[in-house]
Amino acid sequence: MRGHGTLNFEEYAAARGQRLYRTAYLLCGDAHRAEDLAQATLAKLFAHWRRASRMENLDAYARTVLTRTFLAEQRRRSVAQRIGVLASTPAAAAHGDADLRVTLLSALAELPARARAMVVLRYWEDLSVETVADLLGCSTGTVKSQCSRALARLREQLGEPSPYASA
């Protein structure tokens, strides 16, 4: 959504709330925390709506707020809590794609918060390396190396051989 001009907050929240929730869920792996993160993001947008609504790319700004809210929350959690975080599994998950989803969410939950944020933003949100770097306040090289390491770790956890492993 670009050039929102006359768009009011309620319209924006109704149109984009579910997407913010899905991204939050991928970041944290827990439905309740994802709801809290999405709501916190919308609350922050509301508090600064006058300025935010005039931004050229409001969706990018909302993703930035969401990601920074998630990372700040992660920093406040103790190490013991972070180790115990597992993805929520839907009660109706029986087989097929649901199993893959649960497995992937569990693997994502094992990544450090910043690496998980980079992977979600880069590959789920399909943002460029430069955009992710700007969003997280780091260099493009950091995004590339962290994503590479995180993907290798995910492959390892999911049982896929590394493309660089010797036969």
Q: Is residue 163 part of a domain?
A: no
In this structure, how many other beta carbons lie within 10 angstroms of the beta carbon of residue 37?
Answer: 24
Q: Is residue 71 part of a domain?
A: yes
Query: Quick one: tokens of 44?
Result: 């922050």
Q: Is residue 104 part of a domain?
A: yes
Given this model, what pLDDT does residue 101 score? 73
What gap in Å lies between CA 120 and CA 147, rounded to an integer? 10
What gap in Å lies between CA 10 and CA 19, rounded to an integer? 15
Please give the average per-residue pLDDT across 41-65, as a whole number. Answer: 93
pTM over 0.85: no
Decide if pLDDT at 91 tops 70.
no
Query: Quick one: tokens of 141?
Result: 């090289």
CA distance to 57, 71, 72, per residue, from 140 (Å)? 21, 18, 21
Spatial CB neighbours of 153, under 8 Å, sequence gap ≥ 6: 110, 111, 115
CA distance to 6, 55, 156, per residue, from 58 (Å)? 13, 6, 36
Give the tens place of pLDDT for each residue, 3-27. Answer: 445 679 999 999 999 999 999 999 9
Decide if pLDDT at 82 tops 80.
no
Q: Is residue 4 part of a domain?
A: no
Domain count within the chain: 1
Residue type for 99, please? Answer: D
Q: What is the CATH number of the domain that holds 17?
A: 1.20.140.160
CA pseudo-torsion sign 69, 46, 23, 59: negative
Average pLDDT, the chain: 80
pLDDT bin (cut points 50, 70, 90) of residue 92 is very low
Domain residues for 68? 9-158
For residues 67 and 121, the answer to whether their CB atoms sit within 8 Å is: yes
What gap in Å lies between CA 99 and CA 5, rounded to an integer? 43
Q: Is residue 165 part of a domain?
A: no
Q: Is residue 56 part of a domain?
A: yes
Spatial CB neighbours of 61, under 8 Å, sequence gap ≥ 6: 45, 52, 55
Give the tens place of pLDDT for each residue, 99-120. Answer: 767 777 888 888 898 998 998 8
Query: Quick one: tokens of 9?
Result: 């907050």
What gap in Å lies between CA 24 and CA 70, rounded to an integer? 8
Q: Is residue 2 part of a domain?
A: no
Decide if pLDDT at 97 tops 70.
no
- Bigger pLDDT: 162 or 32? 32
Q: Is residue 166 part of a domain?
A: no
